[in-house]
A and B are shown apart, each in its own frame.
Chain A
């Protein structure tokens, strides 16, 4: 009689301890996972911000440089392509991130071409509206760089957490998978240097 009580108490203690451990680990994984989703949302946000600037920019440039139709069309097309790629946090993986990155890189290079063309139009460069758009565009490129870095940091925090032993076993059990990173550009999508 006494013995079985002790056994029961020991079992109960073990169960409670392991329960609170697993609960802590699980909740932390959820928290970190949410963090990654939130920083992904920020990344999409800043890219969207850039896309939103473009119609205005194109309209302004058109007013001064109407025969640069080809470059302007390229920008519009690249923008359409870039905004068509949307990734929900649920399907964040290396392939989808790369696809997203490629579409955005297309827009970046179209934009930097446009900025080179613009050099030939001194009147445009003196236009107040254009100057403000240019400042906003520069700021947006900075924001993109910052949010991408923050995304990588939160993905790394999450990955490090779920891959540590013994948490990796729980991560496996609960289906927490490793998150992909933003890869550094191969020089193709360097932040367009907008110097005037």
Chain B
């Protein structure tokens, strides 16, 4: 019964939030998951494989995920918002570390302006500030893209981003950074009991909630048997699995940091 309610609730929240998120279609990651997702045929297969291999290795060494996504169209969305939403939806970077980077490219097909945006996860805003991201776009990506050297532009950006983020996160660093997240779980039973009593007394005084006020001894008795409780706490699954080269995205979060440009 309760489970069903929670399920219904999650579905409702999910549906509503997807309305809020916006109308534009964010593509799903390619399957099996990979770090270079070229939906627009922007790179040759050799180039894709080369970048993929470097990014995988970097991910395995540092857990920092640099992802390249090339889409045909932004569906009229602002590139910064599109990039942030895509990165957040895919969960680039590790949960808790938020060490994801997304290079989003929309090629200049059909005489449309080409767009590029580097989105930085919360955890990397310090090492890749917006001004630096802007410089990478202006000095390394765009000059190459303008001359049709797609691979070289991305390669240069990836190199710079790797050298900036190298050493920012290691396994030890991770442990330190996640430590401060614990500490909210213990909620003493007495406190709840206290609130219940207070509110039931209050309710009684106002002449409302008669049943609650009347059952006051029950609540007290119940407090004595307090150990029989099983609170339900929802936790969201973290889907990261091992595997050959790349296990998948880790659920990192993005806050809109980064910079972009167009050509």
Contact = CB atoms under 8 A, between A and B. Distances in A.
Interface of A: 11-12, 15-16, 19-24, 26-28, 30-31, 34, 42, 46, 131-133, 135-136, 138-140, 142-147, 149, 152-153, 156-157, 160-161, 164, 173-175
B13 A145 contact: no
Nearest to B225: A16
Given A16-B225, A161-B9, A142 B84 contact: yes
B81 A156 contact: no
A133 to B, nearest CB: 8
A138 B130 contact: yes
Given A138-B259, A156-B20, A15 B195 contact: no
Contacts of B239: none
Question: Which 8 A-B residue pairings sit nearest by Cβ, starting from the closest?
Answer: A139-B130, A146-B256, A132-B131, A142-B256, A135-B134, A143-B256, A24-B232, A20-B229
B187 A15 contact: no
Given A22-B196, A164-B9, A135 B225 contact: no
Given A21-B2, A135-B133, A138-B259, A156 B16 contact: yes
A144 B256 CA distance: 8
A145 B82 CA distance: 12
Given A28-B234, A173-B203, A19 B130 contact: no
B259 A135 contact: yes
Contacts of B232: 24, 28
Q: Number of contact residues on B: which range applies?
A: 35 or more
Given A23-B229, A135-B130, A156-B13, A174 B255 contact: no
A24 B189 CA distance: 11
Nearest to A24: B232
A157 B15 CA distance: 11
A135 to B, nearest CB: 4
Contacts of B30: none
A31 to B, nearest CB: 8
Contact of B233 (A15, A22, A27, A142): A27
Contact of A23 (B131, B209, B231): B231
Interface in B92-106: none
Interface in B18-35: 20-21
Contacts of B256: 46, 139, 142-147
B222 interface: yes
Nearest to B230: A20
B163 interface: no
B258 A142 contact: yes
A179 to B, nearest CB: 14
B198 to A, nearest CB: 10
B96 to A, nearest CB: 15
Contacts of B200: 173
A164 B12 CA distance: 11
10 contacts: A23-B229, A27-B187, A34-B184, A135-B259, A142-B81, A156-B13, A156-B20, A160-B9, A173-B209, A174-B199
Interface string B209-247: 100100000100110011011111110000000000000
Nearest to B203: A173
A144 B255 CA distance: 9
B230 to A, nearest CB: 5
A153 B258 contact: no
Contact of B199 (A30, A149, A175): A175
Contact of A19 (B21, B187, B228): B228
Contacts of A142: 80-81, 84, 256-258
Contacts of A133: 131
